[in-house]
């Protein structure tokens, strides 16, 4: 940083330090280059910043080809839902309503410039819900879409579905079309059209919260996972379940609690759908079902 840097340049440098995505860093570097001083020291600085910008642009091209996320601040949880859609369809409002996140909400296009994370609790399960920036913007994170378990494809007209599907060639996530009604529409005709296309869909109104319970139910159903609760002898079951893939065993639950814990287990009892009777004693190879309760007794 030159000694005679303009305050606007210093402010731009602070903005650069704060941002996390490659797109934002490139944008802030361009701003810094435009504000760099014109003296000899400033020219050297411009060259350094330009070299840095070119390196970041190369990284961005590589990351987009690989389909990996350019945002480094997200740790994927057991159940991750990503909201995608075009600009100004209500993504931030939906995230705000369903979670503890408070994104900036505006009628201005492309307000969201980086993924925003919130936590949503449904049926005692904490789920990670993320708003991806508008799919047609330079801030859109394709890698985040590719890694999601479930996608909420938020639309305000049917034509948007085909436009968005072009971006989903590498994702294996389950998809829910979420039609946000922003003006009068014949919902009976809309439902008939979506059913004829065999879409998994929900029609909502973010402003009035219409059909939000149905949306939550569809989200729960979209996960090919089971919920298993644990308990200690003589105590109530845990409030938070352990999330597992189907057909996993008692041993898998023990190992998820603590690596090597299964070797310390001397007796296991289960309650729930996979048990023949409440409190059935089973071995570590017993396959579990959704909403089972497992009690471990250790040596």
How do residues 176-185 score in pLDDT, each as one tens digit? Answer: 999 999 888 8
The token pair that represents 51 in the structure block: 């070299």
Residue numbers in the chain where pLDDT is lower than 50: 1-3, 72-73
Taking Cα atoms as reference points, which of 251, 293, 253, 255 lies closest to residue 275?
293
Instruction: Return the pLDDT at 299.
Output: 81
Q: How far apart are CA 194 and CA 200, in angstroms?
A: 8
Q: How far apart are CA 254 and CA 267, in angstroms?
A: 12
Radius of gyration of the chain (CA): 25
Q: Where are the alpha helices (DSSP H) in the chain?
A: 7-18, 22-35, 40-66, 91-98, 142-147, 159-165, 187-196, 212-222, 250-257
- pTM higher than the cut 0.75: no
CATH number corresponding to 226-298: 3.10.20.30
Mean pLDDT taken over the chain: 84
Instruction: Return the pLDDT at 74.
Output: 52
**By the 8 A CB rule, do 80 and 130 touch?**
yes
Instruction: Return the pLDDT at 20.
Output: 65
Q: Per residue in 108-157, pLDDT tens?
A: 555 667 888 888 887 777 788 999 998 988 888 888 898 899 999 999 99
**How is the chain split into domains, by residue range?**
7-66, 80-222, 226-298
* Residue 111: partners with Cβ closer than 8 Å, 6 or more residues away: 92, 104, 105
CATH superfamily of 80-222: P-loop containing nucleotide triphosphate hydrolases (3.40.50.300)
Instruction: Return the pLDDT at 140.
Output: 87
Q: How far apart are CA 280 and CA 185, in angstroms?
A: 54
> Three-state SS for 88?
coil
């Amino acid at each position: 940083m030159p000694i005679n840097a303009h305050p606007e340049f210093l402010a731009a440098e602070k903005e650069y330090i704060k941002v996390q995505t490659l797109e934002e860093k490139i944008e802030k570097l361009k701003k810094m280059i435009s504000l760099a001083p014109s003296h000899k020291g400033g020219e050297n600085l411009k060259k350094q910043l330009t070299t840095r910008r070119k390196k970041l642009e190369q990284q961005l091209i590589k990351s987009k080809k690989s389909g990996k996320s350019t945002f480094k601040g997200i740790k994927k949880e057991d159940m991750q839902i990503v909201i995608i859609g075009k600009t100004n369809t209500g993504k931030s409002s939906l995230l705000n309503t369903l979670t503890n996140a408070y994104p900036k909400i505006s009628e201005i296009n492309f307000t969201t410039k980086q993924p925003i994370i919130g936590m949503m609790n449904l049926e005692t399960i904490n789920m990670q819900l993320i708003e991806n920036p508008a799919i047609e913007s330079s801030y859109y994170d394709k890698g985040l879409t590719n890694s999601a378990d479930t996608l909420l494809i938020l639309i305000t007209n049917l034509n948007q579905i085909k436009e968005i599907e072009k971006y989903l060639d590498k994702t294996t996530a389950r998809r829910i079309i979420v039609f946000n009604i922003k003006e009068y529409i014949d919902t009976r005709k809309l439902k008939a059209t979506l059913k004829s296309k065999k879409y998994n869909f929900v029609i909502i109104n973010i402003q009035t919260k219409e059909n939000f319970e149905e949306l939550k139910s569809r989200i729960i159903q979209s996960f090919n996972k089971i919920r298993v609760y644990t308990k200690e002898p003589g105590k109530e079951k845990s409030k938070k379940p352990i999330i597992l893939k189907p057909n996993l065993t008692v041993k898998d639950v023990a190992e998820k609690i603590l690596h090597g814990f299964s070797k310390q287990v001397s007796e296991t009892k289960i309650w729930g759908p996979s048990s023949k009777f409440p409190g059935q004693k089973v071995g570590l190879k017993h396959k579990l079902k959704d909403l089972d309760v497992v009690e471990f007794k250790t040596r």
